[in-house]
Structures are given as C-alpha cells and as structure tokens.
C-alpha cells in the first residue's frame, strides 16, 4: 500500500458507516477513583461529501444497545434515572460544519440525547482512504468528544460519604469509524 492510497481525501458521494468495523465507546469516572467503560452496539450514519468537498455527517445511536459488561448496571443506565430508553430510544448527531485546527479536524454539530439538543465539537483524526477489499473504497476516522451528562439530563449526583459523587459528570466518547463508499 502506498502513502497515496491511505492519505487521499474523500471523494464526493455518500460514505456509510460500517458498524461491523466501527465502534462507539465511552468512559466516565466511577467512585472518583476509577473509570467505567462501555460501548453502544447499534448505530448507523453517513458522511455525505459534496462536489466542493464539503462533508456533512449524520448519525444515530440506539441508546438501549448500551453495554458496560454488567447487566445490572446496563439496566440502571437504561432506566429513567439515566437514559430513559422507553421515552428516548435514540441519540442523534447532525453536523453543522467542519474546520481544520492544528493538523486535525473539528466536526461541529447538534447532538440530541434524552430529548435535549446541544452543540458539540468532535475532534477528528482522518486516517485516509483505502481501495478496500473488493467492495469499494473505505475511509477511516477516530473522533473524541467530552460531554457533560448533566447538560443532557442524564443521571443525577449520587454523593459519596467521603466527598465527590458515584458517577462523574464528564463522559469521554470515542468514535472509531470505518465508512464505505456507496456506489
């Protein structure tokens, strides 16, 4: 593989997120001393690149697909105490712009979770484009964003006797995305 095959820009058209080769994971402070990690198993989305090279991104996450490797915790996270998946089964993202900053990209957009929409900015590293393995071009990205769960009404503050809270407010979300060029 040459450098040219892995560094060329996205061509115009639609690039669908490949959920088999992508992941959406997160981590949050637990008991003020460690981190709890998890991921979402079900999501979809696309990058649409205009003829002028401008990308637009949309994505949807099935919030009830949360998986922290603990069924009891997952059930609590799905409850009205946190995500309230009965009322709010999906989270969505719609980009409003992209900008280059210090050698990487920042994807700005509107994120909706639990019925609350807020602007967010995702730091994105573009890994390039590869011709793929017989099914068309493939592009790769890694994105990270830190969200305040309080901004979206997710969970409350359960205080600890020793100070602090059971679950921290800041949640780091990491997106490892592989997108397939659609014909």
Residue 8 φ/ψ, nearest 5 degrees: -65, 155
Residue 166 φ/ψ, nearest 5 degrees: -65, -45
Three-class DSSP category at 41? coil
Question: In b/e form, how buried is each residue of 142-177, taking b as 16+ CB within 10 angstroms?
Answer: ebebebebeebebbeeeeeeeeebebbbebebebbb
Alpha-helix runs per DSSP H in the chain: 3-7, 71-78
Domains of the chain: 3-181 (2.40.128.110)
CA distance linking residue 16 with residue 47, whole number of Å: 6
Distances (CA, A) of 121 to 57, 111, 127, 140: 13, 9, 19, 18
Residue 132 φ/ψ, nearest 5 degrees: 85, -170
**Which tens digits make up the pLDDT trace of 44-95?**
999 999 998 889 999 999 999 999 999 998 999 999 988 999 999 999 999 9
**pLDDT band for position 8 (50/70/90)?**
low
24 sits in the region (left: phi over 0; alpha: psi -120 to 50; else beta) called: beta
DSSP codes joined into one string, 99-134: EEETTEEEEEEEEEETTEEEEEEEEEEEEEEE--SS
- Distance between first and last Cα of the chain: 23
Tokens describing residue 111: 């994120």
**Which tens digits make up the pLDDT trace of 21-41?**
999 999 887 555 568 899 999
CA distance linking residue 147 with residue 83, whole number of Å: 14
**pLDDT band for position 2 (50/70/90)?**
very low
**Which tens digits make up the pLDDT trace of 97-131?**
999 888 789 999 999 999 999 999 999 999 999 88
């Amino acid at each position: 593989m040459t450098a040219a095959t892995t560094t060329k820009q996205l061509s115009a058209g639609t690039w669908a997120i490949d959920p088999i080769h992508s992941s959406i994971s997160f981590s949050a402070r637990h008991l003020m001393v460690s981190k709890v990690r998890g991921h979402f198993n079900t999501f979809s989305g696309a990058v649409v690149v205009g003829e002028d090279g401008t990308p637009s991104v949309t994505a949807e996450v099935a919030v009830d697909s949360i998986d922290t490797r603990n069924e009891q915790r997952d059930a609590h996270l799905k409850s009205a105490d946190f995500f309230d998946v009965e009322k709010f089964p999906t989270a969505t993202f719609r980009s409003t712009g992209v900008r280059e900053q210090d050698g990487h990209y920042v994807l700005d957009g509107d994120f909706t979770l639990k019925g609350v929409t807020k602007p967010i900015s995702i730091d994105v590293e573009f890994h390039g484009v590869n011709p793929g393995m017989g099914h068309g071009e493939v592009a790769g990205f890694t994105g990270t964003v830190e969200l305040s769960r309080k901004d979206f009404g997710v969970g409350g503050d359960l205080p600890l006797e020793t100070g602090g809270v059971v679950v921290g407010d800041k949640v780091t979300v990491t997106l490892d995305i592989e997108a397939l060029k659609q014909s």
